[in-house]
Structures are given as C-alpha cells and as structure tokens.
Amino acid sequence: MARLCLAALNDRRDVGTACTVLAAGLIAYAIPTLSNVKSYFLGAMFYGVFIVTMTLNFGAVVAGLEAVISRLMPRPPLQHWLSSGLHLVPLAAVLSLFLATCFPGRVALPTAFTPDQIQDVRTAMAKVWSLLQERSQGVEASARPGKAPVVSFSSPYPVTPTTIQLYALQAGARLDVRGEFFNRTLDAAEKALLASDLAIVTSSMPHNLPGPRMGDELIGRMDANPGMCLVDSLPLLTVRVIRIYRRGDPGCGTSAPDSR
C-alpha cells in the first residue's frame, strides 16, 4: 500500500509494477494456504518469493520517500541524513526482532510436542527398533542376496525414519531405511510399501507433515494383501494405531495378530 501511494504521488508508471509484485506475493501466499496438505515444507517453498517481493517493494518505497524528501527538504545535509536513516530501517527492524527473541533467554521451538506426543514417539520408537533388532536375521534372509533389508515408513510420525537409520548405524545393522510419505496417490504409496521387506504404516491423523493423509487406506490394503504379514499393531495416545508388516509367503497375513 505504501508503494502504491508513493507511485500515485511520484510516478504513476510504477503502479503497474507494484501491482505485479503484489500479485506475485498474493499467489505465493494463496498456494500453501489453499492446499489441502498443510506442511512447513510446502510453505518453505514460497519463502523466496516473499523475500524477493519485500525487497523489491522496500527499494521502491525508499526511492519514493527520497523523492518526497528531496522536494520537501531543500537542505542537502538533512536529505542525506534522512536518506541514510531510511536505508537503516531494515537493519534496525531485524536487530530489534533478534534481541526481542533471543535476549530474554531460551528461544522457543516453532514446533512443540505435547506430553502425549512425546510419550507416543518414545513408545513407538522403542517398539519399532526392538522389533527390528529381534527380526534382523529374518529380515536379512528375506531380502535379496547382497542387498540390505528395506524398511519403509508411511509417515514421519511417530517413528522418524532418520532416527531408525541412526540407531542402525550405531548398532552396525545393514538396513535400507526409506521414508515413503511423499507419494501423491494411494496406489503409488502402496506400491512403494509392498516393495519393502518391512513396512511401518501409521493410521490417518490430522497433521501438517509432508504427504497426503491416507494411513487408514494403506492399512486396509496392507491387511488385504496376502503377501504382507502383520507383525504387530500398536495403539497410541495421539495416533489410533501403527502397524508393522513384513513381506512373506502368500496367506501369512491370515494368522497375524490384530489389535485394532
């Protein structure tokens, strides 16, 4: 609005450019806002557009204000000091935000877990890693010769694939850990999970994590697939259930435990 007002006062030719930059900023804001999948990762894709539009607008606003100052302030020294002050405004704003955020003490995390979420992460992580350790020999035997066993996750919550990968490296275990939560369709997600030796599937839940919310549909397809054996089903506080499957002989899933 400041740029549009200054363009109307100083140079009406800048109105079109200001509207173009405004449209780019609004589009970058609308895409993650209107998307059905809410995630920090999706929003981060458009931060660059916001930074560029703010920089362009600030430069235009400073130029417009300098034009106004040159007309209203006939003395060059005063013009120089006011112009320098305008250029220092972003530095002063950023410094004040930094001091207000960091100076009082500990910086708050952008994502805070509730006690129930923390408990679910601990419980699920311990259970999954315990099962992986118990079944490491069987999983390695089912994997193709010369290949590390593939362990796939349908969601990064409550068990984070990178944490399991870290545990495997510390224990010296050969595991190919994959996060299969970026698939856009149910068929693609099912295909990726069926290609693994072990699949950890989280039920559907409200979240802002990457990937669509199709956990219940994946569980239904895994249960119906005769080539996937249900190893364990773990109900949690914030997630209805996570289910662990292994690839096995056809018909093995009919006698699998079910704690849904």
Residue 243: name the closest of 69, 127, 96, 145 by CA. 127
Query: Radius of gyration (Cα) for the chain, nearest Å?
Result: 27
Strand partners, 200: 153, 244
Q: What is the pLDDT of residues 219-254, one digit of tens each?
A: 999 999 988 999 999 999 988 899 999 987 665 654
Q: Give the pLDDT confidence score for residue 136 in this predicted structure.
A: 62
Q: With left for phi above 0 and alpha for psi between -120 and 50, is residue 144 left, alpha or beta?
A: beta
Residue 219: name the closest of 236, 244, 238, 197 by CA. 244
Domain ranges across the chain: 2-102, 115-254
Q: What is the mean pLDDT of the chain?
A: 82
The torsion angles phi and psi of 127, rounded to 5 degrees, stand at -65, -45
Q: What is the pLDDT of residues 47-81, one digit of tens each?
A: 888 888 888 888 888 888 888 877 777 777 777 78
Tokens (6 digits) for 43: 């929003």
User: 115-254 has which CATH code?
Assistant: 3.40.190
Burial class for 124, CB neighbours closer than 10 Å (0-12, 13-18, 19+): buried
Burial class for 148, CB neighbours closer than 10 Å (0-12, 13-18, 19+): middle
Q: Give the pLDDT confidence score for residue 203 in this predicted structure.
A: 92
Q: Give the pLDDT confidence score for residue 163 in this predicted structure.
A: 93
